[in-house]
Amino acid sequence: MAVTGSTTRNDLALAHPLDPLTAEEIERAVAVLREHRNLGERARFVQIVLREPEKDDLARFEAGEPIPREAAAVVLDGGATHEAVVGLDRATLESWETIPGAQAAITLDEYVECEQAVRADPRFRAALAERGIDQPENVMAEAWTLGAHAEPGDEGRRLAWTPCWFRESLADNAYARPIEGLFATVDLDTMEVLRVENTSDVPVPPPAGAYRHDQVGPLRDDLKPLEVVQPEGPSFEVVGNEVRWQKWRFRVGFTPREGLVLHTIAYHDQDRRRPIVHRASYAELVIPYGDPSPGRFRTNAYDIGEYGIGPMTNSLELGCDCLGEIRYMDVVSHDSKGAPVTIRNAICMHEEDFGLLWKHYDWQADDSEVRRSRRFVISSIITAANYEYAFYWYLYQDGTIETEVKLTGIVLTSAVHPGERPEYGRLVSPGLSALNHQHFFCVRLDMAVDGYANDVHEVHTEGVPVGPENPRGNAFRAVATQLRSEREAQQLIDPLRARFWRVSNPERRNSVGDPVAYKLIPGANVLPFAAAGSKDLARAGFVTKHLWATRYAPRERYPAGEYPNQHAGGAGLPEWTQADRSLESADLVLWYTFGSHHIARVEDWPVMPVARIGFSLMPDGFFDRNPALDVPPPPGHACHSSPNGGGASR
């Protein structure tokens, strides 16, 4: 087992146009903004990110023409949200625009300052005293956005509300002892505590929930070492932000909002670089909770749009988060004052054995051919308060692309009276309820299947009625319907009809004359249970469909819109697709939303075992034959010779 040093772009003399901003570029952008806009002391830099070049510009770069580097910034100043573009090469302010009514994402600094303000508030301390708590410094008051649930008179204010938990020490499980019914509402611009609600007499649950290794013993003593060893090193290389693994080529990106991003995913087929996806990212993550009680009805978080998962990214550890011959990549983010922050080992890359790739035993020739599958893994892990989300992208030797989220961490809790059975949660410990909730992920796939002129089809399977065409009743066939416009492309999964969606290039044909294509194959999924017309569902309209397809537009980046924080709803995909633009031979963007439904188990407490959810992109006529035929047999083994036994029976 080995690990090499982390990769950063600071060592490179020349930046690729898609490389994330360096620390020096972030500092330069902040200096330009401060110089030209006379920003106040309380100004906050919500996001400073590479302004990614358009596809035509990238083509010119590949032809040898330089592309100016630009930074896009979202700045809070003077109680307003502003967007800016900074030219990095010449240190110029290219644009500055105030966005009326927009509330930018909450920063980590605001999160901390909000808790400090609540702890210091006399009304909050008095409410704690009523509960018999005389240690306000031991109260965790988390800053949650209000969504669309601001009170009358709060219009225009930047707000947070704070569910609370009590912990005797930092060694305690932070979510084991909710202070039920105690909430504060805070103006984040001024850090003024506007209101303190103290609406419940439910006692704080007894201490529980230990999960650290030195708290739960005795530990198992029957685990033998398991090591992943590649004595000749891995079969991939990382050059700056470009990764090359067997026939795959792609670039790794990172933004404060989306975290890990993959660019220009392509497969080298017979000495030709064939693009598949121009850009892939997790564009939104919304977690609706199902408790209508006072205060708890507000529990609804957009971890990507309302906070930004980049700064939540973990520094990964070999042998713990990642196992094997690992290559790490550092990333650069920033704090709300604009100071660069380097996250060490933020992105993990490695290859792993994945069982059988393909096999056939020819019983007449008494010959067996076996290939083992190896996949390439790109991952990052974030901590969003109580939850951990581990994001994985997998590339396979047969041309498949897969993405998966592993959900773990600690379930969100509320307190109930002793002996009470919660209606909108599940008891996981005496007096402690884990709230019913869902996690909806929306992945944005800027497709480029052998180029940017793509079509999309819905494909399902149906049985043929008994009749002259099907006299014995055994026939079934796949039926493909082209989705010619954005409204037609609003789709739900249908596992009973084996529904999938095919993205093809009508200008490129395979050996049997069909357009080359990739298909999106759904995994587990669900729909929201929030009522139609509710404020929460109005903001998260994108979760009402599993698939959306849009014609590429530079400003259409996030499915709930640019600024979901305190938005009334209707932005993003529901708004854009009203135009019902044509999707024929178009520069297509697929948006796939998948939901993890969580009615907690007792076994999810005190820390939740991993749950998995995701989907696949699989070649569907993209190649002329199985592209993994050229994978060699495992070295030093007789997997291609006669097996012991075997036969013709099935």
Q: Would you name the residues annotated as active-site residues?
A: 303, 387
45: CB partners within 8 A, 6+ apart = 30, 33, 73, 74, 75, 76, 334, 335, 336, 337, 338
Q: The tokens 């009809």 sit on which residue?
A: 497
Q: Taking Cα atoms as reference points, which of 373, 376, 374 lies closest to residue 357? A: 373
* Structure token digits, residue 348: 């993990």
DSSP state of 489: T
Beta strand pairing call for 476-482 and 455-463: antiparallel
Query: Under a CB-based contact definition with an 8 Å cutoff, are residues 327 and 234 in contact?
Result: yes
DSSP state of 637: S
DSSP string, 290-330: ---STTGGG-EEEIIIII-SSTTBPPP-BTTTB-SSBEEEE
Query: Under a CB-based contact definition with an 8 Å cutoff, are residues 20 and 50 in contact?
Result: yes
Q: The tokens 């408790």 sit on which residue?
A: 291
**What strands lie across the sheet with 500-509, from one edge to the other?**
327-334, 340-362, 367-384, 387-396, 401-409, 608-619, 515-521, 500-509, 455-463, 476-482
Q: Taking Cα atoms as reference points, which of 543, 550, 510 lies closest to residue 528? A: 543
d(CA 165, CA 172): 11
d(CA 490, CA 497): 17
98: CB partners within 8 A, 6+ apart = 80, 81, 82
Q: The tokens 């990106």 sit on which residue?
A: 253
The angle formed by the CA atoms of residues 261, 266 and 269, to the nearest 5 degrees, is 165
